[in-house]
Amino acid sequence: MKFILTSELNKLAKKLRFLGYNSTVSRSLSSHTTIRIAIKEERILLTRSVKLAKDKRCFTRILLVDDEPADQLRYLFHELKLNHDNIFTRCPDCNSELQNIPVEKVGITLPAKVLANYSEFKVCRKCGKYYWKGTHYEKTLALAQDYMKS
């Protein structure tokens, strides 16, 4: 499942990426171009724009009425039956796939406390950021599990 989100949903896009969903944000794109991408790449359009949601062209779209990203995500878990099977596989910042990296190659790039407490790391080859299964991972996993129950 792939998504294209309008720019006001950037925080939601990061949450979806962290859960492993390919989620691009249509920054500075016209409505026409955003819809064209949704159709061409078979992406679900997520928007808060009633105008975009009512467009007559044939594509999947969801109008999100909640203001808060957590509420929007809860709604998507319910409506689309999202899961956390691919959590921690995409960069939340740039949407690229994360790659495993041996701790030896991480080196002194990360704080000593992180290197002492974690042994599995991932890197985004596009933006160069490192990730590990720390508290953010644990909180996101717990949140996803909670959403799946409700």
Q: Is residue 23 part of a domain?
A: yes
pLDDT of 115 above 90: no
Q: Is residue 104 part of a domain?
A: no
Number of domains in the chain: 1
Q: Is 38 exposed, middle or buried (0-12, 13-18, 19+ CB in 10 A)?
A: buried
Q: In this structure, is residue 72 part of a structural domain?
A: yes
Domain ranges, residue 13: 2-80
Give domain status of residue 149, yes or no: no
| pLDDT tens digit sequence for 34-89 | 999 999 999 999 999 999 888 888 899 999 999 999 999 999 999 999 999 999 99
Indicate the pTM of the whole model: 0.90
pLDDT digits (tens, 9 = 90+) for 76-100: 999 999 999 999 999 999 999 999 9
